[in-house]
């Protein structure tokens, strides 16, 4: 009989770990406990499910528990919450949420992939009916139902990060009047100011109202239902629904109670093999602290891309591999109406703080040959070290084509390229696809 690997959390990180371990060592018995009713779902797809681009919640998930058992011989237990880790006896307390029963599960290896939860602001009536947080499929279903049941005409989004912006787009497409309230003085403050102003303009052009430098101080509720919000400036915005999206915090309290080491924002500390401070416990995804690829400094960057990679590494190492996680560039992208927004690597401030002498090169260039119809602007900013020329970061806004370009720039950063080397890369050209001097080559040449 093989060893027993138990995984807590059945989505990106947890199932990557489970699948990799089982693939490498078919003798391992793998059990996954998941407290929601769904496994293998992409939370990233939730805005598009709410916006009805994805019609049913089932489509968000790659596998049902039965399919996972059949295809990968992994047992998953949904509606099961792990409530305690006893690291000394290598036993978990598990609560069956449907049967209302507790039982114990022994493990040889444990993977904690409990993810993160939305931050709930400490303001009056934050749990009124019609106030939502978006993380799980059940959250998405509740929002989608409420839009119909409450006949939502106006929605207020608290927080103008990527999730808030994606929700603003999707709710607008449903014909709902959307207002975003953002506490910071400008949207996406890690972006170049000009770029964040362009995002603001884009929202306004699409009739989304934006209030920056504004904090929601109270949810106004009548008979337990949200009817508006009050801000720190004393303004009142009427609304039929509020979606609060002001960031996440790692789900790490159980790990902390088990004596595992935690770090930034109480995220679980792991080494590069994704192992925790306990010899038999690995952790991965949004519940762990990670480190920056360039600076090697500790950081907390909750992203699906990272969660999947870290899960594979944890699972592989449990099955006898010796692979390491190489760190994050925090590469990310989103689309808001027709504007794509992407970044990778360090900002100027982060680079300076890490001891570099950062400089930036900024260009605007069409994504096709200048004479070819339909070309759209690509705004690209490179951040590089003046002393060595090393590329440290990049930001871009513009057409869909910035996705490929930011990926190329992330690759260049990973390879340790200088802007001079980047300016000489042999990139593709055809009038209908890209200009003869790609925007990246122009930006890199400007930096040299």
Q: Name the residues annotated as catalytic.
A: 44
Burial 168-178 (b: 16+ CB within 10 A, else e): bbbbbeeebbb
Tell the burial category of 396 from Cβ atoms under 10 Å away from its Cβ (0-12, 13-18, 19+): buried
In angstroms, give the least distance from the CB of 305 to ligand FAD. Answer: 5
Of 371, 369, 359, 366, residue with least CA distance to 446: 359
Q: Quick check: 203 and 341 in contact, CB under 8 A?
A: no
End-to-end CA distance of the chain: 61
* Separation of CA 189 from chain center: 17
Nearer to ligand FAD, 113 or 274 (CB): 113
In angstroms, give the least distance from the CB of 79 to ligand FAD. Answer: 9
Q: Quick check: 418 and 391 in contact, CB under 8 A?
A: yes
Nearer to ligand FAD, 166 or 438 (CB): 166
Of 197, 121, 204, residue with least CA distance to 158: 121
SS3 242: strand
In angstroms, give the least distance from the CB of 134 to ligand FAD. Answer: 5
In angstroms, give the least distance from the CB of 162 to ligand FAD. Answer: 7
Nearer to ligand FAD, 240 or 286 (CB): 286
SS3 194: helix
**Contact residues for ligand FAD (CB under 6 A)?**
8-14, 33-36, 43-44, 46-47, 81-82, 113-116, 134-136, 163, 251, 254, 285-286, 302-305, 307
In angstroms, give the least distance from the CB of 251 to ligand FAD. Answer: 5
In angstroms, give the least distance from the CB of 209 to ligand FAD. Answer: 21
Nearer to ligand FAD, 11 or 401 (CB): 11
Instruction: Please provide residue 272's backbone torsions phi and psi, each rounded to the nearest 5 degrees.
Output: -70, -15
Nearer to ligand FAD, 9 or 439 (CB): 9
Burial 269-293 (b: 16+ CB within 10 A, else e): bbeebbbbbbeebbbbbbbbbbbbb
C-alpha 164/C-alpha 243 separation (Å) is: 8
Cα angle for residues 410, 416, 419 (degrees, 5° grid): 80
In angstroms, give the least distance from the CB of 223 to ligand FAD. Answer: 29
Nearer to ligand FAD, 116 or 188 (CB): 116
Nearer to ligand FAD, 11 or 423 (CB): 11
In angstroms, give the least distance from the CB of 329 to ligand FAD. Answer: 12
C-alpha 144/C-alpha 294 separation (Å) is: 41
Nearer to ligand FAD, 114 or 276 (CB): 114
Helix axes 65-72, 12-24, angle to 10 degrees: 20
Q: Quick check: 218 and 234 in contact, CB under 8 A?
A: no
- Ramachandran region of residue 394, left (φ > 0), alpha (ψ -120 to 50) or beta? beta
Nearer to ligand FAD, 221 or 252 (CB): 252
Instruction: Please provide residue 70's backbone torsions phi and psi, each rounded to the nearest 5 degrees.
Output: -70, -45
DSSP assignment of 37-86 equals S--SB-GGGHHHHHTTSS--GGGGBS--HHHHHHHH--EEETTEEEEEEE
In angstroms, give the least distance from the CB of 34 to ligand FAD. Answer: 5
Structure tokens at 383: 């951040």
């Amino acid at each position: 009989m093989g060893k027993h690997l138990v995984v807590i959390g059945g989505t990106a990180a947890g199932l990557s770990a489970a699948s990799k371990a089982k693939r490498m060592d078919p003798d391992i018995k793998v059990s996954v406990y998941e407290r929601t009713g769904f496994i293998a779902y992409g939370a990233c797809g939730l805005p598009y499910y709410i916006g009805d681009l994805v019609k049913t919640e089932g489509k968000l998930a790659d596998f049902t528990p039965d399919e996972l058992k059949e295809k990968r011989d992994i047992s998953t237990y949904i509606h099961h919450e792990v409530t305690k880790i006893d690291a000394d006896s290598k036993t978990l307390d598990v609560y069956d949420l449907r049967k209302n029963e507790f039982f114990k599960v022994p493990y040889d290896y444990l993977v904690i992939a409990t993810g993160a939860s939305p931050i709930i602001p400490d303001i009056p009536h934050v749990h009124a009916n019609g106030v939502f947080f978006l993380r799980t499929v059940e959250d998405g279903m509740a929002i989608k139902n409420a839009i119909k049941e409450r006949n939502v005409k106006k929605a207020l989004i608290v927080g103008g990060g990527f999730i808030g912006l994606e929700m603003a787009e999707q709710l607008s497409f449903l014909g709902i009047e959307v207002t975003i309230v953002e506490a910071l003085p400008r949207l996406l403050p890690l972006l170049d100011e000009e770029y964040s102003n362009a995002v603001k303009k884009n929202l306004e052009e699409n009739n989304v109202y934006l209030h920056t430098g504004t904090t929601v101080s109270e949810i106004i509720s009548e008979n337990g239902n949200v009817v508006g919000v009050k801000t720190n400036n004393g303004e009142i915005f009427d609304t039929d629904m509020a979606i609060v999206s002001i960031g996440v915090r790692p789900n790490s309290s159980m790990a902390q109670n088990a004596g595992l080491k935690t770090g930034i924002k109480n995220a679980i500390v792991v080494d590069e093999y994704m192992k925790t401070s306990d010899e038999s416990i690995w952790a991965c995804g949004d519940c762990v602290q990670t480190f920056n690829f360039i600076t090697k400094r500790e950081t907390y960057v909750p992203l699906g891309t990272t969660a999947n990679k870290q899960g594979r590494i944890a699972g592989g190492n449990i099955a006898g591999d010796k692979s390491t996680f190489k760190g994050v560039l925090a590469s990310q992208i989103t689309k808001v109406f027709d504007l794509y927004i992407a970044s990778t690597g360090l900002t100027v401030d982060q680079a300076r703080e890490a001891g570099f002498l950062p400089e930036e090169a900024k260009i605007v260039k069409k994504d096709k040959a200048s004479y070819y119809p339909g070309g759209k602007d690509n705004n690209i900013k490179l951040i590089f070290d003046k002393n060595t020329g090393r590329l440290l970061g990049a930001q871009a806004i513009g057409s869909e084509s910035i996705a490929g370009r930011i990926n190329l720039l992330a690759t260049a950063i990973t390879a340790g390229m200088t802007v001079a080397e980047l300016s000489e890369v042999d990139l593709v050209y055809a009038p209908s696809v890209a200009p003869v001097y790609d925007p990246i080559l122009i930006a890199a040449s400007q930096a040299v």
